[in-house]
A = this chain, B = another copy of it.
Amino acid sequence: MHGFFLQFLTYSEQTAAVIDGKMMADEIRSEIANEVSRMKNEIGKVPGLAVVLVGERKDSQIYVRKKIEACEEVGIMSLMTELPEDCTEIEVLDAVSSYNVDPAVHGILVQLPLPQHMNEEKILNDVSLEKDVDGFHPVNMGNLAMTGRDPLFIPCTPKGCIELLLRSNVEIMGKKVVVIGRSNIAGLPTSLLLQRHHATVSVVHAFTKNPEKITREADIVISAAGVANLVRGHWLKPGAIVIDVGTNPVEDPDSESGYTLTGDVCYEEAIKVASAITPVPGGVGPMTIAMLLSNTLDSAKRAYRFP
């Protein structure tokens, strides 16, 4: 017990290294811009991303705008279909189908969530496997899960989390990793991807008893629960590495929009215990968008057999 407290005291005076996702994403975007320009010069083609946005959700509109701006910045062509909230499922399927056969489109992104009256599964399954840059098609997810198989695309958020670790020189193989949350778009594929990197993975969720006890055993904690400030300082092992996927709107009368985005991790507490941590914003978010660009570039290279 003595050793534990000593170690804790040491860390409590120390501030964790901040993993700068924005800076890493900028580097990756600049690499992608170079590759796009090389493609344009050598074969006269650029990658194309098509976005399907249904309804008027403000957060979805902001995310889509950010993705399209990011495309423009690196030279990826972007197309967009906007449909009203009360459109039919068939109109969405038609938009997806036309992008499926458009040779200038290499990635198709259906912004989630879709309106309640639509069958999300049916629409996502309709995206061509070769253009599924979000990696949400069950074939891509199944191949991500299975040993010896290679998915055509790895979902952007998990890929961004792993990239943050790798570019911070964190070894993943053999490490105990706790993933908090098991959503189809973040927690689940992150746990599958970590296993491919030979981590020992435990998944914590709403039905987990004593989540803090399990989390405290982890060398690396990746939280994608969608609950603001869920992970407190005492949930962490001293020296743990913390990746915070959460972007939870929390009311803030001082902010212009009326809210601020807050992570799953109580940052002020965690920074005194962890050895490294991603901030919110400026951590996983920018990397997710960079990975979308990277997946779109890879898809275009595959389509044009451009090395």
Contacts and interface: CB of A to CB of B under 8 A. Distances in A.
Contacts of A214: 176, 200
A188 B138 CA distance: 16
Interface stretch (A2-10, A21-29, A143-151): A143-151
A182 B188 CA distance: 16
A16 interface: no
A198 interface: yes
Interface in A242-261: none
| Category for how many chain A residues contact B | 20 to 34
Contacts of A209: 174, 176, 200
Nearest to A209: B174
Q: In the complex this chain forms, how many copies of it are found? A: 2
Nearest to A125: B139
A205 interface: yes
Interface string A193-208: 0010011111111011
A184 B147 contact: yes
A75 interface: no
Contacts of A143: 138, 142
A166 interface: no
Contacts of A198: 205, 207
Given A147-B183, A176-B214, A198-B207, 12 more contacts: A137-B142, A138-B139, A139-B142, A141-B141, A147-B184, A147-B188, A174-B208, A182-B195, A199-B207, A200-B202, A200-B203, A200-B205
29 contacts: A121-B148, A138-B139, A138-B142, A138-B146, A139-B139, A141-B141, A142-B142, A142-B143, A142-B145, A145-B188, A145-B192, A146-B184, A146-B188, A147-B182, A147-B183, A147-B184, A147-B188, A174-B208, A176-B209, A176-B214, A182-B195, A198-B205, A198-B207, A200-B202, A200-B203, A200-B204, A200-B205, A200-B209, A201-B203
